[in-house]
Structure 1
Amino acid sequence: MNVRGLRHAYGPRQVLRGIDLDLEPGALLGIVGENGAGKSTLLRILSGELRPDQGSVCHGGRFGYCPQDVVLNDALTVRQHLKYFQAAYGLHDLRRAEEIMEELRFTAYADERAGTLSGGTRQKLNLTLALMHDPQVLLLDEPYQGFDWDTYQRFWHLADGLRAAGRSVLVVSHLAYDIERLDTLWRLDAGVLTPAKAPAP
């Protein structure tokens, strides 16, 4: 994914002021910034959900987007969500989804309605739906919110596996946790993206 000159404003408030960003295959990347810094706006633009005022976003292949606000139908079970997204993605089976559920340890909740799930388990489903079609580029907005320590570690193991498989993974958060796990870390401040951690030599 190549991003050049992204600018966006809400009325008079400039949120993004010329963002340039490259997401290479096989990279695990991070963006941190305070709440309200424009992180979610940037991800919405990268995913195609929001059109920028200026700039361009170019990418090929499949991408997955895990938004900060979990979008689930509380009346549907976990399995029904998977079936719905299977049809939307045009998948032949749910093998990849089942692998992710096993990795995140919530296979036992397959027949539970989303409305009865805890916040952490809802986030596991949110992440699974973003990953189940094996995207080349994965955009994650606060992906581990609500996770306990074990699940948090499992998330990073999953992210490492995606990187090893040549996927691009962008993790966006308001706090810089475990930055040593990242290839590159950027900071978004006042609408400007600056390097916070250079790639390892």
Structure 2
Amino acid sequence: MDVQDVHHSYGQYAVLRGVDLRLRPGTLAGIVGENGAGKTTLLRILSGELGPDRGSVRHHGRFGYCPQSVVLDDSFTVRQHLDLFKAAFGLADLRRSEEVMETLAFTEYLDRRAGQLSGGSRQKLNLTLALMHDPDVLLLDEPYQGFDWETYLRFWELATRLRDAGRSVLVVSHLAYDIDRLDLLWRLENGRLHRQERPTGAAA
């Protein structure tokens, strides 16, 4: 993913003031920033949901996006969600989603309706849907929200596996835990990304 000189304003208020970002294959990276720093706006632009006022965003290969707000139909079962997205992505089978669900210890919920799932389980489904087409670039917004400790560790196992398979993974969060797992870390501040060379503690 290549991001060059991205600007965005709401009226007279400039939120992004020249964001540059290059995410190479085989990289596990993170962006942190305080509430109001512009993370949501940047995420919407990176995912293609919002166009920048100026600048460009280019994705190379298949792109996956896991938003913080889970977009599910509460009346659908987990299996029905998978079948729906399988058709949308034009997939031949559900092998990839089954692998992700196995890693997240989520396979037993296949016939459970989304409305009956806990917050953490809904997030597991959200993550599975974002990964089931095996994207080359994956954008994750607060991906471990609602996870218990075991699932949190399983998430990082999955993210590391994706990185080692040559995928580009970007985790965006208010707080960055276990930042020693990241290859790169940026802080979004004053409308720009600032590289954190040697992070040594949790960032806010």
Residue in structure 1 matched with residue 89 of structure 2 by the alignment: 89
Q: How does 1:13-92 map to 2 (within 5 A)?
A: 13-92=13-92
CA distance in 1, matches of 2:11, 2:100: 41
Residue in structure 1 matched with residue 202 of structure 2 by the alignment: none
CA distance in 1, matches of 2:145, 2:18: 29
Runs of 5+ unmatched residues, structure 1 = none
Cα distance, 1:35 vs structure 2: 1.5
CA RMSD of aligned residues (A): 1.1
Cα distance, 1:25 vs structure 2: 0.1
Equivalent position amino acid for 1:68 in 2: Q
**SS of 1:177's equivalent?**
coil
Q: How does 1:1-201 map to 2 (within 5 A)?
A: 1-197=1-197
Runs of 5+ unmatched residues, structure 2 = 200-204
CA distance in 2, matches of 1:83, 1:65: 18
Deviation by residue 1:117-162 (Cα, 9 ceiling, x = unmatched):
0000000000000000000000000000000000000000000000
- Judge conservation of contact 1:183–1:198 (CA < 8 Å) in 2: no
**Alignment: residue pair count:** 199
CA distance in 2, matches of 1:25, 1:63: 12
Equivalent position amino acid for 1:113 in 2: R
Percent of residue pairs identical:
73
**SS of 1:18's equivalent?**
strand
Give 4+ residue runs of structure 1 displaced > 6 Å after superposition: none
CA distance in 2, matches of 1:165, 1:198: 24
Cα distance, 1:197 vs structure 2: 2.9
Equivalent position amino acid for 1:140 in 2: L
- Higher mean displacement: 84-93 or 6-15: 6-15
Cα distance, 1:98 vs structure 2: 0.6
Cα distance, 1:13 vs structure 2: 1.6
CA distance in 1, matches of 2:2, 2:198: 18
- Judge conservation of contact 1:86–1:93 (CA < 8 Å) in 2: yes
Cα distance, 1:83 vs structure 2: 0.4
Equivalent position amino acid for 1:141 in 2: D
